[in-house]
Amino acid sequence: MIELRNISKIFDNGIEKNQVLNSIDLSVPEGQFVTVIGGNGAGKSTLFNVISGNLNPTTGSIFIDDKDVLRKSRSARAAVVACVFQDPNSGVCPDLTIAENMALAYSRGKWRGLQWAIRKKDIAFFKEKLAEFDLGLEGMLRKKASLLSGGQRQVVTLLMATLQKPRLLLLDEHTAALDPRIARQVMSITKKLVEEQNITTIMISHNMNDAIAYGDRLIMLKGGEIDLDVSGEEKKALTPAELIIRFES
């Protein structure tokens, strides 16, 4: 579904050059859930920024559904690529209500004003979707997003990202800023949304347990290259201790 060919990224400030990604080749089939781990500076966030269109690679090509998207802007890719970031504030408009935020996400790609987007049947649909998570959010549709907790915002952001099923969902350490209990809850909701809609997903995580427990495939980046790529029973057999040893070797 998505294919990266010979992706490299070199940052050059005119004084020194820093190669963050080095000839990455990666193919992710339809519906696969990939977790990505790696130390600081391994290239994880740079890889996501290249895929989403925030950064242009120094070399290489990116194909989504066999179409080269390298020349497409971030806004153009947003029609098929949805992102959820570490900061719970980055995925919502804080001065808009939950309903207004969800309506904007639901009308993505449609040329119509906000007042047209929020229809009675849409409100009913939003309530139904929020009620599935048993957090009481379905009763807060008129509440401003700025008044929600970090965990509640991430749940709303996740739902917004998947209301219109994306071709690719990028999760950039989306539970890192949450306390452990809420993080587990958000991961459970993530699993539910991804599996029910069969969404092709790539998730960066610093949590070794989550990296092993979630997804079909695990990739470790080291020095801008893929150092480990495992799936199936081989992935399930991994332990956090083994991954840490690999990190440090």
128 burial via Cβ count (<10 Å: 0-12, 13-18, 19+): exposed
Average pLDDT for 183-191 = 90
pTM of the entire predicted model:
0.90
Give CATH for domain 2-83+195-248.
Answer: 3.40.50.300
Reported as a single tens digit per residue, the pLDDT across 146-170 is: 999 888 999 999 999 998 889 999 9
pLDDT mean across residues, the chain: 89
Q: pLDDT band for position 110 (50/70/90)?
A: low
CA distance 65 to 246: 33
Residue 82: beta bridge partners? 169
The answer, yes or no, to whether residue 111 has pLDDT greater than 60, is no
Per-residue pLDDT tens over the stretch 84-107: 988 888 888 999 999 999 988 887
53 backbone φψ class: left, alpha, beta (φ>0; ψ -120 to 50):
left
The two three-digit tokens of residue 80, written as one number: 């098929």
CA distance 230 to 219: 7
Q: Hey, what amino acid is at 215? A: G
Which residues have C-beta within 8 Å of that of residue 40, sequence separation ≥ 6? none
Rounded to whole angstroms, the Cα distance separating 47 from 55 reads: 9
